[in-house]
Amino acid sequence: MYSIKQFFKQLIFAILFWIVAFSVFILIRFVAHGSEQGETFVQAKNVVPVTEWMHFGVILGVIVGLFYAFIEFVFDKLITKNIYLGIAIILKISIYIVVLIFSFTLILRLIEHDMDIDLPNERRWWKDSPLFWLATGYFFMCSFIFLFLKLANEKFGKGILFNMLIGKYRKPTEEKRIFMFIDLKSSTTIAEDIGHYKYSQLLQDCFFDLNKIVNRYDGEIYQYVGDEAVISWKYQKGIKNNNCLELYFAYAKLLNKRSKYYLKNYDLIPFFKAGVHGGKLIITQVGTIKKELAFHGDVINTTARIQDECNKYDESLLISEELFNDIEVRPKFQSQTIGDLLLKGKQDSLKILAITKS
């Protein structure tokens, strides 16, 4: 169900993006029409207002956007993980060229019909058409921009890239956020049993599964550290709909659902323990050669220490009472007070609760 919702979000974004991209392309070609006087398509623009051409950019954007969203979604979910990146790129390029040939041929026929002009759309017309290859180059340039925005959004979270571009995080900025440290239980024993190579493959699979659901609960992957993932939420998004709790149990459910795969490949079912805490901290941009956003503050250290207590008390999910009191906890969650714990490196004790789900 979520995959369908995610697909439609990507579909809407892709259609809007390509409508704008191809409208800009048509506008540029209209302004710079003198470079290809030999093309019938270009000559026609001398007598047809640019506004008449723009709606073909909209149609082309819708067609390409539909194909683009579907292709990207299929590759992300089913193909990229199972083949080499180079092969995936070559396969994508080939598919996109076919899509562009189909889309441009359709658009040219629509233009012929609507404007009563003769355009080159015979079989294999595209092979010798400078305009087609120019549009194809433009498409791949825009595609890189699209994927950059998508990857930046996934890495930093929604809206963060824009804030970085306007320099919001060049100076330390205070934010209120929730963090979850989620760690593979018995990782040392597992690594010794299956060897470091298969252990690395296991972590790849586990974090791949985590990425399938993290956006569903408005979470953002902050970083991976060995066998541990750090997930972050803006405070209100984390407590909304119990997102910072629901994510953990949804992940545990997904791993159990894929138990046959893990048993077949690793002879085990991975189990993760987690600690959750929230509060104010500083977010800032660090680095010059490799820029990234960093969070500084007691919240992160405290969350890590809470997660460390899971083994001691044999609990899978621990949360600070301070955060728990801000959540309108649904009846399906049960809490049990662990006590006032003096966490490692802390001077003051913190009340910790264990969370289970019926």
Helix axes 130-156, 2-31, angle to 10 degrees: 140
Round the average pLDDT of the chain to a whole number and report it.
84
- Does an H or E element contain 234, and which? strand 228-234
Distance of CA 247 to the CA centre of its chain: 16
Residues, the chain: 358
Predicted local distance difference test score (pLDDT) of residue 39: 45
- 114 or 135: which carries more pLDDT confidence? 135
| Interatomic CA distance for residues 46 and 44, integer angstroms | 5
| Interatomic CA distance for residues 33 and 26, integer angstroms | 10
Given a cut of 50, whether residue 218 has pLDDT beyond it is yes
The structure's pTM equals 0.70
Predicted local distance difference test score (pLDDT) of residue 49: 62
Given a cut of 60, whether residue 302 has pLDDT beyond it is yes
**pLDDT tens profile 319-342:** 999 999 999 888 889 999 998 887
Q: Which long-range contacts (CB under 8 A, 24 or more apart) does 73-76 make?
A: 73/6, 73/7, 73/10
**pLDDT tens profile 131-186:** 888 889 999 999 988 888 777 776 666 656 666 666 666 788 889 999 999 999 99
Whole-number Cα distances in Å, 198 to 84, 205, 251, 268: 18, 10, 21, 12
| Interatomic CA distance for residues 128 and 132, integer angstroms | 8
Confidence of residue 35 (pLDDT cuts 50, 70, 90): very low
**DSSP state for residue 78 in the 8-state scheme:** I
- Lowest average pLDDT, out of 11-20, 101-110, 228-237, 238-247, goes to 101-110
- 54 or 238: which carries more pLDDT confidence? 238
| Interatomic CA distance for residues 317 and 272, integer angstroms | 9
Which amino acid is it at 333?
Answer: F
Predicted local distance difference test score (pLDDT) of residue 300: 92
Whole-number Cα distances in Å, 14 to 21, 94, 143, 157, 272: 10, 19, 10, 18, 35
Q: Comparing C-alpha atoms, which of 22, 292, 59, 51 is closest to residue 142?
A: 22
Taking a C-beta distance cutoff of 8 angstroms, is the pair 254, 209 a contact? yes
- 278 or 147: which carries more pLDDT confidence? 278
| Interatomic CA distance for residues 122 and 101, integer angstroms | 12
Strands (E), 53-204: 173-184
| Interatomic CA distance for residues 157 and 81, integer angstroms | 22
Given a cut of 90, whether residue 277 has pLDDT beyond it is yes
Confidence of residue 198 (pLDDT cuts 50, 70, 90): very high
The residue with tokens 């540029």 is: 28
Predicted local distance difference test score (pLDDT) of residue 348: 81
- The domains of the chain, with CATH numbers, are 2-156 (no CATH), 160-357 (3.30.70.1230)
CA 5, 253, 249, 224 dihedral sign is negative
352: left (phi over 0), alpha (psi -120 to 50) or beta: beta
Predicted local distance difference test score (pLDDT) of residue 43: 47
Question: What is the share, in percent, of the chain residues with pLDDT greater than 90?
Answer: 43
